[in-house]
Structure 1
């Protein structure tokens, strides 16, 4: 079986899901991806920042390919990824921007597990799969 052809059907399937259904579907994907990838890097930054979210986001600027900006201290941040690191996209299996829900969910998982006392709203502003030069994710602390 040609996996690239199989994933074309997968893309069509996720396009038929409602946004809420895609959130649920990609939550497990995003969690798995980040836990087996960069979660430990963000945990280290969290520990180095002593849990101070403003210091944490300043420290993300030290990571290669990542940039952040504080919009409103202790409340709103933008996180930028300069390249897409998704293997499904980079191997040519998936090209739909709907896949970026996985990245949004991985950021939600990371923030929620580092700052368990807070609730977050994670907004995908734009992505490389949408044709932009980077991925921009807005992070809001809502509680």
Structure 2
């Protein structure tokens, strides 16, 4: 059996999960993935921005393949990725848009790791796996958890 055959079953399996179950499943995958390097990149941006969200997202524009926009100061941001960086997709193993939940959970994990006092809502607006030219993720924040 080829590894790609195993991933066909993986795709079918995650399609059977309820959205809450997929979020829980992918949150663990996301944590493991970002701890392998991505988290350190964003920690560096956080330190450079001294915890200021607006500066953090302005600085993220300097990362290769990343673009961001401040939609509403101190609360709403659009984050764009010009290519899918998931190695499972890049190596041809997984192509379902359900995989984008992992990206959402990755962003949530990074943000919660850096801003422990804030709550975030992350919405995938567009994604490459859904047929878009880029991934567009909207991030909203509040201090009280009512997102």
The TM-score with structure 1 as length reference comes to: 0.98
Report deviation, 1:64: 0.6
* CA–CA distance in structure 2, aligned partners of residues 86 and 42 of structure 1: 17
* CA–CA distance in structure 1, aligned partners of residues 66 and 91 of structure 2: 21
Q: What stretches of structure 1 move > 4 A for 4+ residues in a row? A: none
Alignment-derived partner of residue 77 in structure 2: 77
**Partner secondary structure for residue 94 of structure 2:** coil
How many correspondences in the alignment?
143
Report deviation, 1:37: 2.5
Alignment-derived partner of residue 48 in structure 2: 48
Alignment-derived partner of residue 91 in structure 2: 91
Alignment-derived partner of residue 4 in structure 1: 4
- 1:1-143 superposed matches below 5 A: 1-143=1-143
Structure 2: gaps of 5 or more residues? none
* CA–CA distance in structure 1, aligned partners of residues 29 and 69 of structure 2: 26
**Partner secondary structure for residue 17 of structure 1:** coil
The TM-score with structure 2 as length reference comes to: 0.95
* CA–CA distance in structure 1, aligned partners of residues 19 and 140 of structure 2: 19
* CA–CA distance in structure 2, aligned partners of residues 83 and 97 of structure 1: 14
